[in-house]
Structure formats: structure tokens, C-alpha cells
Structure 1
Amino acid sequence: MTTNLPHSIMAYKSFPFPPSTPVFPTAATVHAYLESYADTFNLRPYIQLNTTVQHVRWCLSESRWIVEVSTGEVISFDFLIVGNGHFRVPRYPDTPGLASWLMEGRAIHSAWYRRPDFITDTLLVVGAGPSGQDITADMSSYARVVIHSASGTTSGESGNVKMRGRITEFRSNGEVVFEDGSREQNVDHCILATGYQYSYSFFDSSVVTLEMPPHHLPIPQGLYNSSYHIFPLAMHLFPLRAKFPPWSIAFMGLTLRGIPLSLFESQAQAVVKTFAEPHTLNIQAEEAKLVARYAYLHKQLGDQPTLIAKAWHFITEAESFEYRDQLHQYSGTLDPQKVPEWEKEMWQNKGVLRSEWKKLERAGEARMWVDGIGNNGGDQWIELLRRLIRQACSKNDPGTSRFRDSVV
């Protein structure tokens, strides 16, 4: 599998991908990039691998975090950054019959999907997000039939891919029933791209309460994990009403939209600012922002705590760029950053770019396009991406006409 964003907008702004890197790199390439980052900035001495964090607690008398790890070591820290990610603990739908499929090994979560290297006759993929779409596309070259199920989808077919709506039942004989009453027979295997839970097993209830927070304002005391969101946090980072200072801990990477690595870099700047200068965190102003967001989501979704929780860390494309700008402004760096317009342009065109790049790969021309790009700076990547968009538009591909005006 590859990234679904061009690496030139996804990379840390302080550390671009190497010249000639494919526009949409593989997981192995991204892994090598992250290792190179660690080596370049001499981070390895501060990274302890093959070690599990087993328990973390706040020591009030010492005003420090006490961390117990799998080696038996107990370490205390002034500050704690929680960056364990939220794409590890799968979320499974409670569809009737699914538990039996999982127990029998006929269904797996996309968390365990690595490559389309197994042959199957009829494969079912569940989920409309990027993983569900990518796995459907990957497996369509290996399975005789791929059934892609997503809530709200109208039934249809495209080549060997069948589009179906929400599943209402998995049956032991391999039959799957959908919400419109249609059925698919003899389904061999199912991959569930149904999302993940926020999980912090190393915290007990003295740090995070594992339940839905009280959904009526004012903002509740404590810190809650609904499995859909962490609440209440200032800037999606700092606990506001917990038993420990908000400037002693930060939860990184919770938002469900945006460009990951560059967003993490912006968040890291805000975290360093808060740890170093805690007085800069305006508690009242941040609580007012939470009240406003709650009121907005309540108006949009109604008195539905679960829907509000699901939407809490989900930010729109425009909001993701505004969020990074706000983080930069808060951090007060010597050279305040703004998300550049070209990056927004490429984010808007990411679908067209990926489609055109796949065509170049199939034609055996992709390597030629990126050969030497980046040797003379990042502007070369911007021009390359714009060339890809222009090429897609020049072919009058369906769906590309709306992008013409954004290409300069």
C-alpha cells in the first residue's frame, strides 16, 4: 500500500523526502524516511525500543508523572507526551453474526492487512474510508469478485467490484445480507475497514475515565475517553479540567483530518511552547472555544452524545489548515508559519494526483517523472504536481474539470 497524499505536502517541513522519491511512496519508503529523520537529528539515543509502557500515574506530592515499563524500570518525568497513535485498537461493528466470522478467521480488521498477496474467490470489504477504498482497489486484481460495503451506498457494479450498502447480518453459510434486502452468497473472506478506538490502557481511572463524558454543559471535571474522543482538551492537546496541570501532558495526533506529519510538527511546537511557558495557555479562552464547538455540533447533530463524540476530533479540510495556522500563531516562533497556498491546492487535488500517478506507474513512466526532482529544492516538487494536474485536465478525464482554475 502507498500513502494517499503526495509526500511533498505530507513531510515534516524541516525534513523533506529524498530527491526522486515516488510521489505516493510505499509504506517501506515512509518507514525509511522516519528512520532517516531519527538518524539525522540524533534521536535514537532517546528512543527505547522493545519496551512497553505498562502504567502511568500522576504523583501529586512530587508533581511528576511516574511511568512503569515492561523492563521493570520506574521513571519519573516532569512532562508527558502521549503519542501512541489511534490506529491500533480496532473498532468492530456489532453486526449480527460477525463475531462468529471473526472467531473462525473468516473476517479480519484492516489493521492486520499488509498486502494483496492472497487469492480468494469472493472478498467482502467493509468501510468507505481511505483504507476500505484502497483495499478494494488492491484486491480487485486478485479476487474474482470484491464486494465493497459502505453505509448509504447504492448497489451497483464496476468491473469485478460490487458496491453494496450497510450489512445487517453475516450468516454461517457464507451469506451476507444488506440493508436493502439484497444478499451475496458464498463470501469467502471479509476485511473490516471500520475504524479504530482511542485507547490508553496504561492509564487508570485516576487519569482518564473510560466512558462518555457528561454531555450537558458546563465543561465537566476530569478527563474522559469515550473511545471516539478525548474530552476536554485545549487545542485537541491539553487536558483542561483534570487532576493534573494541563501544561504537564499533551495528547498528540488525535485529529481525524489533516496532513499527518506536518500537523504533528505544528502540534509539537505548541507543546514545547506550553511546557516551557505554561502561562501562555489561556484556560478561559480555550474553555470558551470548547463551549462554542459543542454548541455548533449540538446544533448540527442534535442531542446525540455518540454522534458529537465521533465528530469532535474530525475537522474539515479548511479547519485543518486553520488549526495549523492557529498552532503556529500560538507557538510564536521567530518566523511564524502559515500553511502555504500551494499545499492547500495539492490537498484539494489529491484525488486527481493519485489517479494520474497510478496511470504513470501502470505505463512504466513514473520513475522517469521523478528522476532528479528535489535536487534543486522543494519548488521542483510543486511544479511536478502541477504538471500532473495539467496532464489530467488536458485528457478531459471525468471529474477533473473543476480543478482547472486552481492550477497556476
Structure 2
Amino acid sequence: MDATDDKSGSSGALHVAMVAPPWYDIPPRGYGGIESMTADLVLGLTRRGHRVTLIGAGDGVDLRTYEQPPSERIGDPIPEVAHAAKADRFLEGLRADVIHDHSLAGPLGARGRSAPTVVTCHGPVTGDMGEFYRALSTTVALVALSWAQRAHAPDLNWAGRVHNAVAVDTFPFVDRKEDWVLWLGRFHPDKGAHLAIEAARAAGRRILLAGKQSEDVERVYFEKEVKPLLGPGAEYLGEADAGLKRELLSRARCLVFPLQWEEPFGMIMIEAMACGTPVVALKRGSVPELVVDGVTGFVRDEPPELPSAIEAAGELDPAAARAHVARHFDVSVMVEGYERVYRKVISSAEVRKPRHLLPVAADLS
């Protein structure tokens, strides 16, 4: 069942303990998709009358595990584990109705808590991560970001599916686009920046690229695959903060998104469409769930099909893309989805007391 379709239990304020990852401020100053989503969810829940205690690192949190987020140590397990241990101590002193954990190691402390724990799966649910979530199946309830993600591991203890969202009114709508195209994200092989450059060149269009390359894999990929392609018609702008990101997304002819993995959700796609900018993407992961082919962008099977789609993108109606995001991916829609997940999980835990550590019933409809 889609959490956004579950109408059970729709009244009464909740106290939600929200655990963010430790890597960036909330909201993030630049890159930080999970942190951005968490900030929007906290604000949306608060506006609907719920109490939220946010646990995280740096600025913008109620209970701080690190004074400064250890961003430069991403990939090092110690900050993640230390963050989880500190968060667990904070949670001991809270009388929360539900704990919503967005971190990796945090869910390890769910066993024995009086409040149920909801975990949003922000990354893969196959391989090692799939085994991790299976090992936690008796202690946490999982939320998928897309049907595509959930389909990769239908046996996990899913409590629902809730798409990520954006505050649409914070993204500028521009109906007259410029003639260049945009790639924006993190410079990782999975994101296909080199394919975006090749597609733009084949279409005879200038491309601007912006994104982070702070991790080793990102720096190696940028130096080996992206940098040699830069030059006339392909310009790297550095990492984009929130302001520059919105400026670029709103002005571009289209966002080129040649995804190379089964990404569970691509925030940059709904951000682009919120600005009225169509998305030209490859058919991987959640792309077909987010982009309406021929209306808000074009979804193609192979890289050689991208240049013609880049050309055709200029004929799409920017207002249609904006309206699509407002209807399906605004923060209000996400907040309502999580409210229903929380109430469902709380209700399941109440029914099982005092044996509340048994698994939440999997939602496989």
C-alpha cells in the first residue's frame, strides 16, 4: 500500500524524534540531499502542529552530535557510529511517539526502545544494504522512496512508499529558457556527467556543469572522465550552493540526467521541474516515476537517444512541469505521507504491546 493512500488514523499531534545523518548542516549550505529533505519534512510537520525534536550535526538541530559536521570524513565509519551512539543517548531522554531515522548506523539502536522506529531507505536496498535491512526487520519499519526501489527488495519490512519532495514555492519559475543545458549533481560515475557532455555536444548545445567532488571516487572520476571533455561548449562552474542551484535550474533549456544506476530517487529532477525546466534522462531507477515522458521531459533508453531529446525539450511547456511537481512532489504531499506511516507504525506497536518488538506487518499490497 502507498502511504499516501492509507487514510487510517488522521488526527492528533505527534512527537517525532527525527535523526539526521551527521555529514552536513540542516538545511545544507550546498550539497546534501538527505539533509535538505529532512529540513523540509521537519518544517512541514511542525506547521501541521506536530512536535519535532531534530537530532543531527552542526546548525539547525535541537540536539547536536557534532558542533561542526565532519563532512571531510565522509566514508570514514567512526563519525557515523559516534553520531549514532550520541543520538541514542539523546533518544533515551525523549518521550517521543515515533523515531524517524535517516542515518545509517542509527537504526542499530532501535531494539529495546519504547517508541517504534521508522527508517527511510535513502540508498540501495540490495546487496549488503539489503542484508542490513533484513537483519533489522524485527526492530524497524522501512519507507521506500519509490516503487522502483521497493521492487528491488519486496521482502523487506516496508511500511509504505513516500516520494521525496521540495518546497515548490522556493524554486523560481521561469517560462523563457536560455539555449544552454545543465548537468548538476555529484561527480560520481553513477551520475553520468561525461555522457551529459557528449549528448550536449552531439546536440550542438553548450552545457554547464556544477557539483561536488570532495570524495576520492568523485575526484578520480572528474579527473579521468570529465575534465578531458571540458573546453569550448562545456564549462565546469564548481559546486553550487542553494542560490546558484536555483538560478541554473530555472534558466537552463533542460536538465540532462544520464543516470547509470538504479537510483531510488533523484531530487535534482523534481527541483528542475519545479523551475519549469524539463528533464532529459535515461530510464533508470525512479526516473519513469518522476518524469512524465513528453510532458515534463523525455525518458530514453540509451545515451545515443539523448541529443534529439535535448532538442525536443525546448518545445515542452514549462508550466506543465511546474504543475506536475506541485501536484505530486510538494512538501505538503510528503508530510501527509509520513504522517500516515507514523500513525500506522504507532498503531501496530500499540496492538502488539507488551510484545512491541515483534515485526511491524509488512505492507506488500
Greater RCO, 1 or 2 (C-alpha within 8 Å, sep 6+): 2
TM-score scaled to structure 1, two decimals? 0.25
Decide which structure has the larger Cα Rg and report it.
1
